[in-house]
Structure 1
Amino acid sequence: MNKLPPKRKKATSVTSRDSEPSASSAEDTFDPENPATATITVTAAEVEELSETEERDRLHLERRVEKAFFEAGKALAELRDRRLYRSTHSTFEEYCKDRFGFERRHPYRLIEAAGVVDNLIKMCPNWTQNQIEDDPATVYSDQRQILPTSEGQVRPMTKLKPEEQQEVWQRAVEVAGGKVPTGRIVKDVVQRIMERTQVPNTYHLGEVCQILAKDNPELRGKGGCWGIVSAVNEFSCTVRMWDGEYTVGLKHLKSYNYLSAECEQMREICDRISRVYSDSLEETVKSLLQLLGKVNRAYLTAVEEKLLNVLESEYRRDITP
């Protein structure tokens, strides 16, 4: 006699049969004649809400993560200003490279970015300094203050005026739908601000200008020096100085308004200094040439002329007759 196939057991729910079925659970069913109609019970997991303390802790920790580059910039600024690197390194740049692996420009970017964030924090006048330092996740007007979370988001704003920085950030947050905007969004908003306030480049070739190095680490050591415009760009000029050519933004230039004859005199002086200068010179000689490069008149005194003559006879590179 043929044996009957074993009887399949009916699937049961993980919930008790004695309990009433809820909206999120139902008993498993299985029809041997039609397996495709099987029903499997899925019990919805209940998500535990954060307590008020946990929510506050989460916001606090998130803000600490967001403030990482800001705190780094503030610390670097203090290390630089107080020269706390002087016991081991002669320059701030060497210290940052050896200690943190930062290339020359990076620590200055972090310092500039921290300055921008400090300015953006001022948009919340009801915040106290203690609130900012002790509880960075402070709720303001029932909303968290949207602040930058990376140096790249801040970089396009570093050359703007404080009020322009605040305007750019507010607009960028709006474009991002009330969230932290990307660096690209910030850059686009900055470009629109620049186009609105664009000042035409009125400099001309051969014009003698003074270099204004304030707030521009790339021009360190060039403040007060003069240069001759060798190329006129849209928002900058290429300026020839005693040790080479530099591209300088318009706000870092100031014309001496010399007459054409005076500009020609300065061009001749620049040519003479350039023929003497090289990176292999002794530091004292470089310093003397730099002092001549800061002369704020269209001529050399008798002593300066003699000094340049001596340097020319000693160091001048060969000139084709």
Structure 2
Amino acid sequence: MPKIKSKSCADGSADTYEARLVAAQSLRKGDRVRHQRTGEQGSFQEINLGFALPEVWVHFDSDREISKTLSCNPLELEIIGSKVEQQPTALPDTCHKEALAEVSPNVVLTRVEEASAIIESPCRRAHADVLEELSDSEERERYRLEFKVDRGIAQAWLALKELRDRRLYRSTHKTFEEYAKERFGYNRAHAYRLIEAAQVLENLSPIWRQDVLQDEMSPIGRQKFPNSERLCRELAKLPPNSQPIAWEKVLETSSDKAPTAKLVRGIVEQLQEKPLLQAKDFCACGDVFTLVKLEGSMRKYNGCWAIASGINDFTITVEVHETTLTVKPENLQPIDEPDARRQLPQTLKRIRRLRNVGLLDRGAYNVLEDLGWQTYLTDIEEKLLSCLEEHYKVNSEETP
């Protein structure tokens, strides 16, 4: 269904998840409301939790026989007539149980009260010097609200991912990028970083599901899932099946303190480290390879063939068509074709002879560059190379 677009609250109030939720819960089904921006009047129907921030469905009056139903910001509605006999608004039956906890804070508060009967507040344990003592009720309220903040952030990421995956923006926008920018103020890079964070949370299942989907709080009050996109960005550097292992190590290391991006990065790097492979056990001089997984300035040589020319302790010196590189064994993918292994050393010598002539025509450079990526020469490529040797008076049989 369509919705009324909103950029900010008409009365200047803070447009937050909590503010919207309180405004939505104050409405009763059938209440007559007026939209403060458009002036349209209609009847409130129910709360809409299909977006990152709560909205409400309203049947707006229309000159046509059928009224129009729109989803809009509850902070932009004012009540002009109320049906007092109705009960406070309940969430639709289709809402997920974690959404029910958002609408009914007492649900979470009850669990906090139960937990506080057997544990001490994590905030009180973490700081020996208390600046100002909180009452028991204030301590429970702080704990409850902190938990809701963490859980709300995660739910927002997942909601954004679902909006993208199910293309629920298509009724008003042609692209997800345009929708994210206009609806939430997210540029493309930020929107996709949040979606990547949502994917990390899904990969952390069942750790994440135990605390968020099931509305459960950690029995020791400890943060049980990443609450910032920066933490998820570090975890995303690992394969999906390694991310839960890394996060468990993060929790063990951080104890009751909030994990930092530096801590997560260090643990991720530890898991990424592999036992060093002795280069001499990997290959011998003259072996031919395809270069892979190169980074930084050498990335441009990924896919290029190379010939081993020097064996170090843990690295290998290789020759490519235009230069010499030092790489690790994991950057070398062996070429097993007998014809390629026989022909490539000779091809490298011929290319190097031509490059040593001096300044070449740009067409010659283009040909030599292309040959540096071909593991064997076709008849035409052989003729082109021979033509260049003839033009620059280079004998293909000479010693380089």
Question: Please, what TM-score do these two structures have when normalized by structure 1?
Answer: 0.47
Question: Please, what TM-score do these two structures have when normalized by structure 2?
Answer: 0.40
Larger Rg over CA atoms: 1
